[in-house]
Structure 1
Amino acid sequence: MATTTHHPRSPGSMAAAGGLTVFAAVMLFIAGILDLFRGIMAIADDDVFLATPNYVFKFDLTSWGWIQLVLGAIAVVVSLGLFAKATWARVVGVGIAGLLIIANFLSIPYYPVWSLILIALYAFVIWGLCVTKKDTDDLA
């Protein structure tokens, strides 16, 4: 009697899981580009941003712009790794998205609505990368 190996997931669920990785890669790319632009804006012209006088976390806006610029650039590079299905990109993607959530939380006084939007985007990235297993990426 011949035995066949049966994958515990159906082809449809595996395709959906692979699609979540692509979704996370796209979201990370878009949010990384937006953080790049935000960093450039903070470095170039401080008048674009709102000033909140009584916020616990206060930073020099130009320095903060460089932080956003570097983290955004890393996010874009990691998203390209996700498109290439690199294993390192999944781990680094969760880490960089977590760092960018913290960075955007700390920058709420400078651009509150935009910070909250980017926090939500990075939360979706973490969800998309954590909900799938490595073996499902082969179908994406």
Structure 2
Amino acid sequence: MSQARSSAGSSGWLAFGGWMLVLAGAFNIIAGLTSLFRPDYYVVAAGELLVFDFTAWGWIWIAVGLVQVLTGAGCLSGQQWARIAGIGLAGLAAIGHVMFLAAFPFWGLTSIALSVLVMYALVVPDKDARA
């Protein structure tokens, strides 16, 4: 006898997106801590940033990173709200990295690419897919 398959299959893309969201969140937390404790690490002075200063960016990246890590865990557990929030957070992080680009150009471009990949990985699977 063959077993009946459930309509909600597992998705490698969803698992990948969840883990990448956790990883991007961890990277953003590290960037936030660096902005708070080592602002001299970045390429430009605080006055040359597009908006805010390094202290403000530090708190922004820590907050976004923590929410990304929690949302990534939600994606891995198959929560639909987490997929939607993860797409929004990845878009928000990409926009933030554009504004922070002058401080750390290579890492900013890498983070933007990672954010776009996360958005794709969370959009592609079926609505009922599980990680």
Indicate the TM-score class for this superposition, using the shorter chain for normalisation. 0.7 to 0.9
Residue equivalent to 2:84: 91
2:61 maps to what in 1?
68
| Residue 27 of structure 1 pairs with residue 10 of structure 2 | no
Cα distance in 2, alignment partners of residues 22 and 53 from structure 1 = 37
Partner of 1:111: 104
- The correspondence of residues 1-140 of structure 1 with structure 2, limited to 5 A, is 15=10, 18-51=11-44, 57-137=50-130, 140=131
Cα offsets for 1:74-98 (capped at 9, x unmatched): 1000001011111110110000001
SS of 1:74 mapped into structure 2: helix
Unaligned 5+ segments in structure 1 are 1-6
Aligned 8 A contact 2:49 2:103 in 1 = no
Does structure 1 retain, via aligned residues, the 8 Å contact 2:47–2:53? Answer: no
Gapped regions of structure 2 (runs ≥ 5): 1-5
Deviation at 1:60, TM superposition (A): 0.7
Q: Using the alignment, how far apart are the partners of 2:123 and 2:76 within structure 1? A: 16
Does structure 2 retain, via aligned residues, the 8 Å contact 1:52–1:109?
A: no
Structure 2 vs 1, CA of residues 45 and 53 (structure 1 numbering), >3 Å: closer, same or farther?
closer
The superposition leaves residues 100-120 of structure 1 with CA deviations (integer Å, 9 ceiling, x where unpaired) of 000111100111100110111
State the Cα RMSD in Å. Answer: 2.5
User: Is 2:78–2:129's contact at 8 Å kept on the other side of the alignment?
Assistant: no
* Letter of the structure 2 residue corresponding to residue 100 of structure 1: A
Cα shift readout 1:10-64 (whole Å, capped 9, x = no counterpart): xxxx55xx10000001111111101100000001111101117996823211111
With normalisation by structure 1, the TM-score equals 0.82
The structure that has the greater radius of gyration is 1
Question: 2-side partners of 1:93 and 1:118: how far apart?
Answer: 15
**Secondary structure class of the residue paired with 1:57:** coil
* Alpha-carbon distance in structure 2 between the residues aligned to 1:49 and 1:122: 21
